[in-house]
Amino acid sequence: MPIQRYSVNQYPVETLLTWIKSGEIAIPDIQRPFVWNAAKVRDFIDSLYCGYPVGYLIAWRNPNVRLKDGTQSDGKRILIDGQQRVTALLAALLGQQVIDKNYDRKRIAIAFHAGEDRFEVANPAIRGDRAWLDDIATIFAPDSWMGQIVDEYCKANSEADKRKIDDRIRRLEGIKNNSLGLIELNADLDVETVAEIFVRINSQGVSLNAADFAMSKMAASEKYNGHQLRKCIDYFCHLAKAPEAYGDLEKDGEFVTTRFFSAMQWLKQEKEDLYDPSYTDMLRVAFTSEFKRGRLEDLVALLSGRNFETRAYEEVIAEQSFARLEKAILCYMNETDFKRFIMILRSAGFVDASMIRSQNTVNFAYILYLTLRAQQVNPAQIETLVRRWFVMSVLTGRYTGSPETAFGVDIRNLATQGASQYLDTIEQAELSDAFWDVGLAQQMDTSVASSPYFNVFLASQVKGNDKGFLSRDLSVRDLLEGQRDIHHIFPRGYLKKNGLPRGRYNQIANYVVMQSEINIAIGDRAPATYFQSLWEQCENGKTRYGGITDAAQLRANLDEHCIPQGMEEKSVKDYDEFLQERRKLMAVKIRDYYNAL
């Protein structure tokens, strides 16, 4: 008969909230981004009020590790599914503020219309309407008195049926006594098994977020300063996106005494947004650079004291793992290294966050940077290797499929072969002459303006200090860092009038970055028309499209944008030939750019 690996219990909402506030159940705290919108919180409270099922919470008791005296530790529960529901309860019933996905701090106040027996998200109109209890958190306050609340409501709403109002408000208060199901996984289960159980139980089949799992693990481990380490990760990612939140951080009196606080103070004046990491990014980089592993589930196992050889849990491994992770997080946050890494990305021509579509590509480039720094490689060589690795990863989509697998393979090969030799091997296999001569041009047969190949092309233009299309003074960098327009060389309106569908006229080989006023001036004119005018303005000096009045300067500008010759003679029948020719020219420019990195 199979052994049951979990228990299912029902607990009152009030009990679960008490456990969470006391730390008996560990979850990332209210500082973490809350992804539910207010309407979803309202619906969740309404379901509890109606007695509808709201799903199970899933917790795993922290694995018992073997202590130095031979006894077993008694771990806390780690909440691995249900964090949004628990945070919704803390916000709606206890009045705690949440941090939204933009790291803005806000209250989610849920209002209750006792007369109509319904909930709504509080708003100014509701707050001005005495028929509403505009914040149900007041009902759950420790000093609240239901009799007084009912009396005051009925006094303000003289037509109300006091008996119904009393019944409904007391029923609302009774939410705290409603039961929530808690599935508690056995302490002896390993991380892989817990993840498998999670996927099978979860009704939507969503994979366990290993980063959330690791953050919860840290929150449960005050013994090794894990709770402060987790808070450090939260705060750093928060400040990276919103430096103005520094004032809130200073209010955390316990945290400001830590060395983590000192290590991140530089962010309060940091406006750079090229790489604003999430806690997943930060954990992934720190873990892989320090532990030379790719799977974040392994981090949870190590922080739990897992001995991968004996499959036992040992305190010494947990202690060492927390110490190593703390060291790696401090390295990650180092102001000099973080800014130098960003400088390397910028020096490769990636000057705007919109040009970076894969965060994991940035993450591994930073892993490589930190690895080479730890090896004390020459700074100039580090810059070259990181630049080339980053652009290689973008061009090959190296981390877009199974990033953890790729991270694990790459970090191991970097250790055995060295960065330079391993990069050479990858280039020979994936960036061969066939890629540059044929493959890259074929890959650019797409209409997606955010294509990694088009972004690399733009980076090559930034690196080459190219001017914007038909611009005399503004560079591509200026336009990317300011307000850019993507212009169709064969104007979109012109092609639409000639019967071409969206997928045909929106081709990256038909795109250039240019000033909006030049784009507007060209309008829907045929390329033969406006290119002929460009050459004429070089002869007569009368500008019509942009400010270039010198033929050599115009030719140079067209070359920088890989514009084929003879555009003043092209019509819609030449469009497909133009696309093929320009893709080849763009591929050559990207190849030359890459080789010069």
pLDDT tens-digit series, residues 362-413: 999 999 999 999 999 999 999 999 999 999 999 999 998 888 999 999 999 9
**CA–CA distance, 389 with 365 (Å, rounded to integer):** 7
Q: What is the pLDDT of residue 272?
A: 87
Are the beta carbons of 577 and 509 closer than 8 angstroms?
no
Is 488 in a helix, a strand, or coil? strand
The token pair at 1 is 């008969």
Is 437 in a helix, a strand, or coil? helix
pTM recorded for the entire structure: 0.81
Q: What is the pLDDT of residue 5?
A: 72
Residue 179's alpha-carbon distances to 51, 52, 53, in angstroms, are 9, 11, 10
Asked whether residue 361 carries a pLDDT value surpassing 90, the answer given is yes
Q: What is the pLDDT of residue 252?
A: 82
| Contacts (Cβ under 8 Å, ≥6 apart) of 388 | 423, 594, 597
By mean pLDDT, which of 6-20, 72-86, 137-151 is the weakest?
72-86
Asked whether residue 35 carries a pLDDT value surpassing 90, the answer given is no
Tell me how far the alpha carbon of residue 119 is from its chain's centroid: 33
**CA–CA distance, 536 with 546 (Å, rounded to integer):** 13
Most confident of 37-41, 458-462, 535-539: 458-462
By mean pLDDT, which of 63-77, 118-132, 274-288, 536-550 is the weakest?
63-77
By mean pLDDT, which of 217-221, 266-270, 309-313 is the weakest?
217-221
Is 114 in a helix, a strand, or coil? coil
CA distance between the termini of the chain: 63
Tell me which of 194 and 545 has the higher pLDDT: 545
Sign of the torsion angle spanned by Cα atoms 227, 229, 233, 235: positive
Tell me which of 512 and 18 has the higher pLDDT: 512
Most confident of 201-215, 313-327, 331-345, 499-513: 331-345
Asked whether residue 199 carries a pLDDT value surpassing 60, the answer given is no
Q: What is the pLDDT of residue 82?
A: 82
Q: What is the pLDDT of residue 297?
A: 85
Give tens-digit pLDDT for 306-323. 888 888 888 899 999 999
Q: What percentage of the chain has pLDDT greater than the value 70? A: 92
Tell me which of 237 and 2 has the higher pLDDT: 237
Q: What is the pLDDT of residue 502?
A: 84
Is 185 in a helix, a strand, or coil? strand
| Contacts (Cβ under 8 Å, ≥6 apart) of 397 | 358, 452
Q: What's the mean pLDDT when you consider all of the chain? A: 89
| Contacts (Cβ under 8 Å, ≥6 apart) of 587 | 436, 437, 440, 441, 444
- Maximum Cα interatomic distance, the chain, rounded to a whole number of Å: 93
Q: What percentage of the chain has pLDDT greater than the value 90? A: 62
**CA–CA distance, 521 with 531 (Å, rounded to integer):** 13
Give tens-digit pLDDT for 532-548. 999 999 999 888 988 99
Residue range 151-163: average pLDDT? 92
Confidence of residue 56 (pLDDT cuts 50, 70, 90): confident
**CA–CA distance, 434 with 440 (Å, rounded to integer):** 9
By mean pLDDT, which of 184-193, 245-254, 475-484 is the weakest?
184-193
Residue whose token pair is 């965060």: 359
Supply φ then ψ for residue 475, to 5 degrees. Answer: -90, 170
The token pair at 436 is 């540059």
Confidence of residue 204 (pLDDT cuts 50, 70, 90): very low
Confidence of residue 30 (pLDDT cuts 50, 70, 90): very low
Tell me which of 102 and 595 has the higher pLDDT: 595
Report the relative pairing of strands 98-99 and 105-106 from DSSP bridges. Answer: antiparallel
Residue range 332-338: average pLDDT? 97
| Contacts (Cβ under 8 Å, ≥6 apart) of 555 | none
Tell me which of 306 and 527 has the higher pLDDT: 527
**CA–CA distance, 441 with 296 (Å, rounded to integer):** 36
Are the beta carbons of 527 and 490 closer than 8 angstroms?
yes
Is 149 in a helix, a strand, or coil? helix
Residue range 417-444: average pLDDT? 96
Q: What is the pLDDT of residue 52?
A: 86
Length of the chain: 597
Are the beta carbons of 538 and 549 closer than 8 angstroms?
yes
Q: What is the pLDDT of residue 203?
A: 44
Asked whether residue 205 carries a pLDDT value surpassing 50, the answer given is no
Are the beta carbons of 231 and 255 closer than 8 angstroms?
yes
Asked whether residue 325 carries a pLDDT value surpassing 60, the answer given is yes
Q: What is the pLDDT of residue 207?
A: 46
The token pair at 34 is 């809350």
| Contacts (Cβ under 8 Å, ≥6 apart) of 533 | 544, 545
Is 77 in a helix, a strand, or coil? strand
